[in-house]
Structure 1
Amino acid sequence: MTAAPEDIRDVYERQAAIYDAQRSRELFEARWLARFAACLPAGGRVLDLGCGTGTPIARWFIAEGFAVTGLDIAEAMLAFARERWPEGDWRQGDMRDFELPERFDGIVAWNSFFHLTPAAQRDCIARMARHLAPGGSLLTTVGPRAGEVTGAVGDETVYHASLSPAEYAACLEENGLRLTGFLAEDPETQDHSVMMARKDA
């Protein structure tokens, strides 16, 4: 089955309940989340791009005392987050064209950024850079190498893409961000490839 980036919203709208039931709560991401959080001021503002149901990434930041804004393309995913944290700041929006009035100390895009095409990823990096406060940090998952592949959400196929590590480093630099960490297929995070960057102060 083929997958197109334009299908992402509809897939997550249909698969929200299955995704939520299947999403690991083991917090295999914890080491990277802690490393990222150490770069942020206590109680700082965090934008969770592609926050999904809020579990487990936004939940972790909320528990650590950060002010979290969650943005996701699928209302069905956000419904879970709003039910769990009715006082939370949950917004429907698209990573490809979001424009928020706030600036954030940190932006995390775990298992969401890689659904964008390579061109849209370059645009999104520029957009994320504009939404970061000076000295702010970025944490995202990418691919280990340049290319387009497919993944799965529930029983549906979804689009994934990545630039090369060198391309990411160059794109970050062009937007005033400095690469501070990259690990391809980290075995401690179920083989996710993880990238961190920091905006110039």
Structure 2
Amino acid sequence: MNADPNDTHAVYERQATEYDRRRSKALFEARWLARFTASLKPGDRVLDLGCGSGDPIARWFMAEGFDVTGIDFSDAMLAIARDRWPDGDWRNADMRSFELDQQFDGIIAWNSFFHLTADEQKDCIARMARHLRPKGMLMLTVGPRAGEVSGTVGSELVYHASLSPAGYAGCLEKNGLQMTGYLAEDPEAQSHTILMARKI
């Protein structure tokens, strides 16, 4: 039985401290982060969508000199980020409904986007496209195939979903984005499936 997508927020509220404790800070993501920022420059604006505690993804971008805005819907997760970086731009918002009065040079949703249902993901891609500047970069972790599965956060089950690679390519194209990279279950990134795209 799959987890209920409506439970995701409550799970993160309950498991924030445990999730942060268990979350790898070794930056196995670094190769992808470097690829993502290859066309960006220090000072560019990056939106970390589903930023959680800010560690290690937002931390990496800040250390590299980017202007980072972190969005998450969990107050408990954001409290950890604000405690670590009191001067950071941490905002409580839901990736399914966020509306910001600015555009970004890059948007990343690492280990967050896949908690949305398939239809919510399609809507979110359109929302992200509107928040990207022309030539802006997008990077998501997704599933390797279409379907719904359950993962874990701390000791609790949590919902995951994915479109097919072709489904993502079509949705990106519909929203003025072009897929520039896709690797299913990358063995050098703890088997994460990574998608990259650029706004046309």
TM-score range, shorter chain: over 0.9
Gapped regions of structure 1 (runs ≥ 5): none
Query: Does the aligned pair in 2 maintain the 1:148–1:161 contact within 8 Å?
Result: yes
- Which residue is equivalent to 2:115? 115
- Which residue is equivalent to 1:49? 49
Question: In structure 1, how many angstroms separate the alpha carbons of the residues matched to 2:41 and 2:57?
Answer: 18
Letter in 1 for 2:163: L
Q: TM-score of the superposition, structure 2-length normalised? A: 0.99
Q: Over the residues paired in the alignment, what is the CA RMSD in angstroms?
A: 0.7
The Cα of 1:61 is off from its aligned counterpart by 0.1
Query: Does the aligned pair in 2 maintain the 1:47–1:71 contact within 8 Å?
Result: yes
- Which residue is equivalent to 2:124? 124
Query: Does the aligned pair in 2 maintain the 1:28–1:188 contact within 8 Å?
Result: yes
Query: Does the aligned pair in 2 maintain the 1:41–1:105 contact within 8 Å?
Result: no
Once the two structures are superposed, residues 104-153 of structure 1 have per-residue CA deviations (whole angstroms, 9 ceiling, x without a partner) of 00000000000000000000000000000111000110000000000000
Matches for 1:41-190 after TM superposition, within 5 Å: 41-190=41-190
Question: In structure 1, how many angstroms separate the alpha carbons of the residues matched to 2:132 and 2:39?
Answer: 13
Structure 1 stretches of 4+ with a deviation exceeding 3 A read: none
Matches for 1:6-25 after TM superposition, within 5 Å: 6-25=6-25
The Cα of 1:2 is off from its aligned counterpart by 4.2
Secondary structure at the residue paired with 1:181? Answer: strand
Question: In structure 2, how many angstroms separate the alpha carbons of the residues matched to 1:184 and 1:132?
Answer: 25
Question: In structure 2, how many angstroms separate the alpha carbons of the residues matched to 1:3 and 1:16?
Answer: 18
Question: In structure 2, how many angstroms separate the alpha carbons of the residues matched to 1:98 and 1:5?
Answer: 18
Question: In structure 1, how many angstroms separate the alpha carbons of the residues matched to 2:77 and 2:42?
Answer: 28
Question: In structure 1, how many angstroms separate the alpha carbons of the residues matched to 2:39 and 2:184?
Answer: 21
The Cα of 1:42 is off from its aligned counterpart by 2.6
Count the aligned residue pairs: 200
The Cα of 1:95 is off from its aligned counterpart by 0.6
Question: In structure 1, how many angstroms separate the alpha carbons of the residues matched to 2:179 and 2:43?
Answer: 24
Question: In structure 2, how many angstroms separate the alpha carbons of the residues matched to 1:64 and 1:16?
Answer: 26
Query: Does the aligned pair in 2 maintain the 1:52–1:72 contact within 8 Å?
Result: yes
Q: TM-score of the superposition, structure 1-length normalised? A: 0.98
Letter in 1 for 2:119: A
Query: Does the aligned pair in 2 maintain the 1:48–1:70 contact within 8 Å?
Result: yes
Gapped regions of structure 2 (runs ≥ 5): none
Q: Structure 1 vs Structure 2: percent identity of aligned residues?
A: 70
